[in-house]
Structure 1
């Protein structure tokens, strides 16, 4: 038996589920395949790590009708403090000075996933197959056919477009024969949610650069901070093996006492860091979004924000095509998406890669230059404004999934 759809999304993580929601209600029938059970605590897409949502991402989520149920689960970022450990340079960004409500918000991946999955399951035009595993797919002029294993049985899904939202090691991308440019940093990110002491500062996010890599602290709604600590891969095993007390002491030495003495660490996880850009993000009847198209260093917290902008542009393009009666799998339509996303994807990749190289360079002229640069930035309102706009996701055209654009 073959089940017919318009769009088949491979991957029901944050980006794939967001696309399904963005396309719902426009007349397209969408299937989403997710390999992990919905209630699995091991689901890597919906764990407890902190996700930074740029203000621009909030606008996109509002347009999708997701912000209202999410608002009670987020913490605002109203101030940002950037410093270089052991050096004199620092920069502070304040939401009042920039005349914005907040630079962004922080939510756990678990809470974002709960809102997304509850929402898409309420739409009749979205079918979520979970757990389900893609076995293979074929593309021809007539459409796409995807062989899927569901409950131990092989089924066939037919559609007009296959969307790869299956992560940085995307099986769809590889089977399409699309190569990728990769650069491995020799680093890993350790993530955990920490309970600070009396130094809890509510809506302030911290980015502290150290000689072993940056450490970011993002405020969470429950008076905890989400930590993303970049470490040299050579020291990862030793740090991961520390007990909670020794781990907190190591974090304290790296970060300092701006949040008081850390009291407790939640579950820890780690993952390798590398830069990846797919050599192309579209084929006839196939498109890549999120980490299947690009993976960037978490130094500026732009990973999911880049992915949700992919979602917004693709949804806008596909909705417009469907309204005009155009085949949503047509390569000309998909090339519009690719052309509109190219600059943003490349800019974020270049900026994050440049910051990693700048702040891990031990040469004293580079150290001196970056500290002078941070002090100068702290004193120049225009520089702060441009930095804030980039952090908020307003570096360029910000689309609405519904088919309009934000001012």
Structure 2
């Protein structure tokens, strides 16, 4: 054995790097030994997307508070576009509701940040931790196998520079994405539901400023979201049936904008420009096990959901902070961070949030996809009642904000 860690994180993406930041206090206070394994070199220059086409994520107000707590928001704030209003509507029907930041007493309902900006801030922190000797970063490197050992430890075989080394870890955190090959090797199954839909994502421009308004527009066969971006761009997320996606991609820009306008309507203005269009298939995918002795599954590896309401990454960050708190409390109590009893407590604390968020997003998609008249009437009455009830709207807004 060439080393033993308290925590070994597999995956240096947004979730893995965020967990590292959340463990900074324990690394300093308790000399927590932490390592991170990343398949790509963290020192190689990364491609910067064209400014117009840069992809973005919606961070809830709750996620902003977490990043502020971790000392990251000051670096992100300059790149963040605040969401001041959210307008929810059902195309062709009377139901609608509007959420406003002033009504909720917050500076913004959420923020939209380009992914590469978020990645740059987290990557800089990762490099700082490594350069200060606080964390060992193995990059580029690949975890070849995980083997449970007595006492809730894991033996980790890591390939780097053509050689393989063995490490011991009290806790291994799998944060290597929704297609984790290590989960397959560990025989951790997934519950999977295919929506038979694709997300079409692109940045668009309109003929008037967005003024910080985000739109969630339900349109029969799939919801459409429009998020405010810097430079008065907006980020489009259009859910399209899988059998129609190739046609949408093949359209020239003028035809695409005309089709988009017909579906979305004119409430945001007139669409004048569209950037590069990209797509990915949509499914609900949940790990059947999130913890084992010495092991936690985190982020998209634990759960991936429909992008409606933009809750996926925000749920992952709430999980990440809860896991960091669990690890720190284990150390304070003199227990191994990989002790199953402690990890089961983490799952128990998060299960309500996870189930509510997953069910909420899945239910929205299925409810607004149905076209039976009684269902249409019921959901539009529901939207109208929500808009008229300050108490209900407040609870709905707090859930959307991750509070």
Q: TM-score when scaled to structure 1?
A: 0.91
- In 1, Cα distance between equivalents of 2:119 and 2:189: 30
Deviations 1:65-114 (A, max 9, x none): 11111111101111110111111211111112222221111111111111
- In 1, Cα distance between equivalents of 2:265 and 2:11: 39
Post-superposition shift, 1:49? 2.5
Post-superposition shift, 1:234? 0.7
Post-superposition shift, 1:40? 4.1
User: Is residue 366 from structure 1 mapped to residue 370 from structure 2 by the alignment?
Assistant: no
RMSD: 1.9
Quick check: 1:24–1:126 contact (8 Å CA) kept in 2?
no
- In 1, Cα distance between equivalents of 2:201 and 2:164: 37
User: Is residue 226 from structure 1 mapped to residue 243 from structure 2 by the alignment?
Assistant: no
| Stretch moving more, 242-251 or 58-67 | 242-251
SS of residue in 1 equivalent to 2:231: coil
Post-superposition shift, 1:266? 2.7
Structure 2 unaligned spans of 5+: none
Quick check: 1:321–1:328 contact (8 Å CA) kept in 2?
yes
Q: Which of 106, 113, 117 is the matching residue for 2:119? A: 113
Task: Report 1:103-142 matches (<5 A).
Answer: 103-123=109-129, 124-141=133-150
Task: Report 1:211-222 matches (<5 A).
Answer: 211-222=220-231
Quick check: 1:50–1:227 contact (8 Å CA) kept in 2?
no
Quick check: 2:48–2:116 contact (8 Å CA) kept in 1?
no
| Residue in 2 that maps onto 1:154 | 164
Deviations 1:145-175 (A, max 9, x none): 2222323333333321110111122223222
| Residue in 2 that maps onto 1:168 | 178
Quick check: 2:210–2:234 contact (8 Å CA) kept in 1?
no
- In 1, Cα distance between equivalents of 2:140 and 2:310: 29
| Residue in 1 that maps onto 2:83 | 77
| Residue in 2 that maps onto 1:145 | 155
User: Is residue 33 from structure 1 mapped to residue 37 from structure 2 by the alignment?
Assistant: yes
Q: As a proportion of its length, which structure holds more helix?
A: 2
- In 2, Cα distance between equivalents of 1:179 and 1:24: 32
Task: Report 1:3-402 matches (<5 A).
Answer: 3-26=3-26, 27-38=31-42, 39-41=45-47, 48-123=54-129, 124-141=133-150, 143-198=153-208, 200-394=209-403
Quick check: 1:50–1:218 contact (8 Å CA) kept in 2?
no
Post-superposition shift, 1:302? 0.4
| Stretch moving more, 18-27 or 171-180 | 171-180
SS of residue in 1 equivalent to 2:102: coil
- In 1, Cα distance between equivalents of 2:122 and 2:314: 15
- In 1, Cα distance between equivalents of 2:55 and 2:83: 16
Quick check: 1:194–1:263 contact (8 Å CA) kept in 2?
yes
- In 2, Cα distance between equivalents of 1:163 and 1:255: 41
* Alpha-carbon spacing, 1:377–1:19, altered in 2? closer, same or farther (3 Å): same
Post-superposition shift, 1:42? 9.6
